[in-house]
Structure 1
Amino acid sequence: MDKIQLKALAKINLGLDVLRRREDGYHDVRMIMQTVRIFDRIQLVKQEREGIRVRTNLYYLPANENNLVYKAANLLFEEFDLRGGISIDLRKYIPVAAGMAGGSSDAAAVLYGLNRMYGLGLSLEQLMERGVKIGADVPYCLMRGTALAEGIGEKLTPLPAMPPCNILVAKPGISVSTKFVYENLHANDLKPEQHPDIDAILEGLRHQDIREMAEGLKNGNVLETVTVPAYPVIQQIKDTMEEQGAAVALMSGSGPTVFGIYEDRMQARRAMSAIRKSRLAKQLFLTTPYNNNRRNS
């Protein structure tokens, strides 16, 4: 196989709690991850000339070793002493620096694709073990679906699939530094009521009940305590989504992307129109959950 085309799917956080800041500077988290059908396209092509070449449709993204797709390819090329080179064509559609794991998903797709192209014979679990060396979200992006993530995000437990619904995703025209958010969180000083009820969200998933799940999501992302005060547009988008019938609206990851969960697609479309008219968001997507935990192409 000399060429392969892949989809790198985005994720949202159905719940995100930070339990504590560790002595090594990392944070222990407990969060529910969900893949959604927003994706980047990646094409891998074998080259006779040695080296890893990256092309992207966004001028401001690095096309060198600072891009996670390069790091993913380099990891396998070095470990397995692969001959020749690889060309990586990355078409970005997932919002960048938006709390949707776009870069991690791109890296995961490259690991998966090279494993197939070169017949490396690595299992999904073995790919995930390598993925964590690139980033904490990469193992999940290989696994996909609905999952509980613990530790620094690398300990993953598959969960019942998210019930069918419509998910409106809105990315305002700002970028948020994950480093800024975690440095200003002061996780060890959070009050009990500031932590989301992850167990309540899990119960909603187990009962396949969107309303029950949404109730648990009302205070679902502890990082909002930092990001929302710094960027009020996030709260404006959340309010608009809920005014337009969302069962719940929440920031994903460290932001600034907001998603709203709708049972009725027409309500979601009306909310999309309202946000577009108000110019609160630069990018808008109406999507659905992706729930096949084992499919990676």
Structure 2
Amino acid sequence: MLYFPNAKINIGLNVISKREDGFHNLSTLFYPLQLCDGLEIVENGLDHTRFTQSGLTIEGELTDNLVYLALLLIKERFEIPNLDIHLHKKIPFGAGLGGGSADASFMLKALNEMFNLELNTQELIDLSVQLGSDCPFFIINTPCFATGRGEELVPTDLDLSGYRLVLVNPNIMVSTPEAFRYVTPHEPFTSLEEAILNPLPSWKGLVENDFEKSVFCQYPAIQELKTKLYQEGATYVSMSGSGSSVFGIFKNTVAWNREVIDPSYFVWEEIIK
């Protein structure tokens, strides 16, 4: 069977406080994109599972891959046959887009569907959070406010349909643990839930990503992307997650000049549905 794990963006990201478990309490809004990887899973009739990969090169050992770890979580609870698993990577790594988390969560959902495991949504969420803090979002995969580590989700009816989203990744890997080191946790003056209620044109300066200040200092090219997208007429621009991707939300009637972006950068454009 074939599945298409999709990316997400963070609309606003506030680091509220440091937790006793070493993580941070966050407030963010996850919004799904149409940008997808491809995940194919078939029974192979062999005495072992095979994993292959194409597209963007995945560094590291197979045993570190979140798709493989998701498989092991299911195998701890259920007897399932050996598989051929193929992952085609299109979502950039270290980009604040949740590509690895999406792959892992879609693997859990795929196995649940393929083998009639009858895991409900909450059970899938409980499994997925063991793989990553934003994995639970991809179980639900609709716009959600997220708190806690990012795993406490409340669906929202935020509707950006009809706007055009331009996503740019400058091929810079930003370490999430490193990004957290330079952020001072604090309560925002206006909560994200309140800020989002304002009209989109007023989000600039109101709906903020707390990682931008430190990440921009370390990687000026990322800040330059934000400036360029505003110059091209975007209504709202932000870095996603801890970076390095930057997205701009444009009125569909606004034309922007793609030539202002370095041709070596990854660019994705979609009409939001």
Q: What TM-score, normalized to structure 1? A: 0.85
- Structure 1 45/5 Cα, relative in aligned 2: closer, same or farther at 3 Å? same
- Structure 1 145/215 Cα, relative in aligned 2: closer, same or farther at 3 Å? farther
CA–CA separation in structure 1 for the residues paired with 2:102 and 2:227:
29
More helix by share: 1
> Deviations along 1:40-73, whole A, 9 cap, x unmatched?
0110111222443321113343461100000111
For the residue of structure 2 that corresponds to 1:256, the secondary structure is coil
8 Å Cα contact 1:16-1:196 kept in structure 2 = no
Identity of paired residues, percent? 28
What's the offset of the Cα at 1:79?
1.1
For the residue of structure 1 that corresponds to 2:138, the secondary structure is helix
Which residue does 1:294 correspond to in 2? none
Match of 2:221 among 223, 230, 233: 233
Match of 2:265 among 282, 293, 296: 282
Letter in 1 for 2:176: T
For the residue of structure 2 that corresponds to 1:31, the secondary structure is strand
What's the offset of the Cα at 1:185?
1.7
Q: What TM-score, normalized to structure 2? A: 0.92
- Structure 1 45/168 Cα, relative in aligned 2: closer, same or farther at 3 Å? same
CA–CA separation in structure 2 for the residues paired with 1:89 and 1:288:
28
Alpha-carbon RMSD across the aligned residues, in angstroms, is 1.9
- Structure 1 186/211 Cα, relative in aligned 2: closer, same or farther at 3 Å? closer
What's the offset of the Cα at 1:201?
3.4
- Structure 1 68/185 Cα, relative in aligned 2: closer, same or farther at 3 Å? same
For the residue of structure 1 that corresponds to 2:197, the secondary structure is helix
Q: What residue ranges of structure 1 are gaps of 5+ in the alignment?
A: 291-297
Which residue does 1:198 correspond to in 2? 192
Q: What residue ranges of structure 2 are gaps of 5+ in the alignment?
A: none
Residue 115 (structure 1) aligned with residue 112 (structure 2): yes
For the residue of structure 2 that corresponds to 1:149, the secondary structure is strand
Letter in 1 for 2:229: M
Letter in 2 for 1:61: E
Superposition misfits of 4+ residues, deviation over 4 angstroms: 212-215
Written as runs of structure 1 = structure 2, the 5 A alignment for 1:1-297 is 4-57=1-54, 58-62=56-60, 64-82=62-80, 84-164=81-161, 165-187=163-185, 190=186, 197-204=191-198, 209-213=199-203, 216-217=206-207, 220-264=208-252, 266-267=254-255, 270-276=256-262, 279=263, 282-289=265-272
CA–CA separation in structure 2 for the residues paired with 1:8 and 1:173:
21
- Structure 1 13/61 Cα, relative in aligned 2: closer, same or farther at 3 Å? same
